[in-house]
């Protein structure tokens, strides 16, 4: 596939070699191998995340700009006229930006033209994509109408929700079955049991969910689970004399909370907590310590992101080697760029960036906000239903 400009919109077309030569890199260096060797979790876990350098420098120096860009000026309400006037500059900048990242709604026909004879697989971010961004992350609820739109789209397309949040939390927010939930940036994936090849895939573990319903679990870092559990039990033991310390087993991360440990009590200070954690994990070179808000977190030393989650899910669902599969990923933030990059550079499918302000992205298309995401999902359903007639 290759990108071609057509009325300002990117279109995926065959054949692949054109794009590879344009990228100036041999096909075997592309991040995705179309030859599809048998899946090996270790293969994926050892892929370097990305070379340090230019991109990170750009990100570092661009943070302030990105923050400003994420806070566009409010719409003005004129005194004399009782209607809203959108800031001209903002509007013009956005419209210019959509020449590069056309709206997935206005370009819908191009997308579906390409998707003819193909099987669309949908990947959806949660926060800011299916739900509005809110001050309290515990209150990032999706609307009933969005839930209904997702429920309908799942009837026609394999769909996964990929979030940085824990899988349980995303499941709770969405509250739908028959789709894949990928929590912890895809390290913890749960999906419905289907009578297909995926049920027998070596990455799939049959389990039951909270309601006792059979599900498939896909956990690329599952080899770490016994280690995390062992460390969890050691941490419980070593901190049991520290008043206020609480150890939590988050499956892919053991967390030591010290919010309730009195900092002034010398024998049970935060430093003691830190020393205890250090004493345990020094014997585990494959684990590392990260700092959260009044919590120490012990997690696997693996490089994992949403791009790898997309690859892993396609592999696990036995869809990675199918030429007739078109992955579409919809997301709104920096962590979604890894997935956009995998789709773009692997010539696999479309990334759709959800943004109301201009941003550089690896996505092909854009949508302004979650309400447009909902409209896009509804359009997909209508298209599928009408094409089935
Ligand atoms: Mg998001």
pLDDT in tens, the chain (389 residues): 444 444 444 444 443 333 333 333 223 222 222 233 333 333 233 333 333 333 233 233 332 233 234 334 434 433 334 444 456 777 899 999 999 999 999 999 999 999 988 999 999 999 899 999 877 767 889 999 999 999 999 999 999 999 878 888 899 999 998 899 988 778 888 887 765 544 455 666 777 777 777 787 777 788 888 999 999 999 999 999 888 888 888 778 888 888 888 877 665 678 888 889 999 999 999 998 877 667 788 888 888 888 988 998 888 777 777 778 999 999 998 889 999 999 998 888 999 999 999 999 999 999 999 999 999 999 999 999 998 76
Query: How many whole angstroms from 131 Cα to the centroid of ligand 1?
Result: 9
Instruction: Tally Cβ neighbours within 10 Å of residue 201.
Output: 16
Q: Is residue 51 part of a domain?
A: no
Please tell me whether residues 325 and 250 are part of one structural domain.
Answer: no
3-state helix/strand/coil string of 136-193: CHHHCCCCHHHHHHHHHHHHHCCEEEECCCCHHHHHHHHCCCCCEEEEHHHCEEEEEC
Please tell me whether residues 174 and 317 are part of one structural domain.
Answer: yes
Query: Domain ends where: 257, 276, 300?
Result: 300
Instruction: Tally Cβ neighbours within 10 Å of residue 199.
Output: 14
pLDDT value of residue 201? 56
Query: How many whole angstroms from 181 Cα to the centroid of ligand 1?
Result: 14
Please tell me whether residues 106 and 228 are part of one structural domain.
Answer: no
Burial degree of 103 (CB within 10 A; 0-12, 13-18, 19+): middle
Query: How many whole angstroms from 335 Cα to the centroid of ligand 1?
Result: 8
Query: How many whole angstroms from 173 Cα to the centroid of ligand 1?
Result: 14
Please tell me whether residues 129 and 158 are part of one structural domain.
Answer: yes
Q: What is the DSSP letter of 326?
A: E
Instruction: Tally Cβ neighbours within 10 Å of residue 359.
Output: 20
Q: Is residue 60 part of a domain?
A: no
Query: How many whole angstroms from 127 Cα to the centroid of ligand 1?
Result: 4
Please tell me whether residues 342 and 363 are part of one structural domain.
Answer: yes
Domain CATH for 272:
3.30.70.1020
- Residue 20: partners with Cβ closer than 8 Å, 6 or more residues away: 26, 27, 30
Query: Contact at 8 Å (CB) between 377 and 152?
Result: yes
Query: How many whole angstroms from 329 Cα to the centroid of ligand 1?
Result: 12
Please tell me whether residues 184 and 249 are part of one structural domain.
Answer: no
Q: Is residue 116 part of a domain?
A: yes
Give the count of domains, the chain.
Answer: 2
Q: Is residue 145 part of a domain?
A: yes
The whole-model pTM stands at 0.66
Query: Domain ends where: 273, 300, 327?
Result: 300
Query: How many whole angstroms from 15 Cα to the centroid of ligand 1?
Result: 32
pLDDT value of residue 193? 72
pLDDT value of residue 87? 64
Query: How many whole angstroms from 319 Cα to the centroid of ligand 1?
Result: 25
Please tell me whether residues 366 and 294 are part of one structural domain.
Answer: no
Which among 237, 255, 117, 241 is positioned nearest to 184, based on CA atoms? 255
Please tell me whether residues 253 and 287 are part of one structural domain.
Answer: yes
Please tell me whether residues 296 and 308 are part of one structural domain.
Answer: no
Query: How many whole angstroms from 229 Cα to the centroid of ligand 1?
Result: 29
Query: How many whole angstroms from 381 Cα to the centroid of ligand 1?
Result: 23
Query: How many whole angstroms from 278 Cα to the centroid of ligand 1?
Result: 33
Query: How many whole angstroms from 130 Cα to the centroid of ligand 1?
Result: 8
Q: Is residue 154 part of a domain?
A: yes
Query: Contact at 8 Å (CB) between 122 and 159?
Result: yes
Query: How many whole angstroms from 126 Cα to the centroid of ligand 1?
Result: 6
Q: Is residue 47 part of a domain?
A: no
Query: How many whole angstroms from 133 Cα to the centroid of ligand 1?
Result: 8
Instruction: Tally Cβ neighbours within 10 Å of residue 209.
Output: 15
What CA–CA distance (Å, rounded) separates 110 from 319?
Answer: 23
Query: Domain ends where: 250, 267, 300?
Result: 300
Q: Is residue 49 part of a domain?
A: no
Please tell me whether residues 263 and 322 are part of one structural domain.
Answer: no
- Secondary element (H or E) of residue 379: helix 370-387
- Residue 313: partners with Cβ closer than 8 Å, 6 or more residues away: 123, 160, 180, 182, 186, 189, 218
Domain CATH for 357:
3.40.50.1000
In terms of residue numbers, what domain contains 231?
A: 224-300
Please tell me whether residues 315 and 296 are part of one structural domain.
Answer: no
Query: How many whole angstroms from 47 Cα to the centroid of ligand 1?
Result: 24
Please tell me whether residues 355 and 381 are part of one structural domain.
Answer: yes
Q: Is residue 94 part of a domain?
A: no
């Amino acid at each position: 596939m290759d990108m071609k400009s057509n009325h300002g919109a990117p279109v995926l077309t065959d054949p692949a070699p054109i794009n590879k030569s344009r990228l100036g890199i041999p096909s075997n260096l592309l991040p995705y191998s179309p030859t599809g060797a048998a899946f090996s979790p270790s293969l994926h876990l050892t892929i370097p995340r990305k070379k340090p350098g230019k991109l990170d420098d750009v990100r570092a120096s661009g943070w302030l700009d990105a923050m400003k860009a994420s806070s566009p000026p409010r719409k003005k309400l004129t005194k004399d006229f009782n209607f809203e006037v959108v800031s001209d500059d903002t509007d013009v900048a956005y419209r210019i930006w959509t020449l590069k990242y056309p709206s997935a709604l206005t370009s819908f026909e191009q997308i579906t033209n390409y998707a003819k004879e193909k099987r669309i697989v949908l990947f959806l971010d949660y926060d800011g994509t299916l739900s509005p961004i809110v001050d309290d992350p515990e209150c990032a609820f999706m609307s009933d109408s969005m839930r209904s739109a997702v429920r309908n789209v799942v009837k026609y397309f394999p769909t996964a929700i990929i979030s940085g949040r824990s899988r349980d939390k995303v499941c709770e927010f969405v509250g739908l079955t028959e789709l894949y939930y990928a929590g912890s940036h895809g390290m913890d994936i749960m999906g419905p049991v289907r009578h297909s090849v995926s049920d027998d895939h070596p990455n799939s573990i049959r389990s039951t969910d909270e309601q006792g319903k059979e599900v498939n679990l896909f956990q690329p870092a599952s080899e770490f689970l016994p280690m995390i559990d062992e460390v969890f039990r050691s941490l419980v033991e070593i901190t049991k004399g520290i008043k206020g310390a609480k150890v939590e087993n988050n499956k892919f991360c053991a967390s030591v909370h010290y919010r309730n440990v009195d900092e002034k009590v010398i024998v049970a200070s935060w430093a003691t907590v830190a020393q205890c954690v250090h004493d345990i994990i020094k014997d585990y070179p494959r684990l590392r310590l990260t700092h959260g808000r009044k919590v120490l977190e012990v997690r696997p030393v693996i490089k994992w992101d949403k791009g790898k989650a997309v690859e892993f899910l396609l592999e696990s669902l036995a869809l990675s080697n199918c030429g007739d599969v078109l992955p579409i990923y919809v997301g709104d933030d920096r962590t979604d760029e890894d997935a956009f990059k995998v789709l773009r550079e692997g010539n696999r499918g479309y990334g759709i960036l959800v943004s109301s302000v201009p941003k550089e992205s690896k996505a092909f298309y854009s949508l302004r906000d979650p309400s447009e995401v909902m409209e896009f999902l509804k359009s997909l359903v209508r298209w599928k239903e009408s094409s089935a007639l």
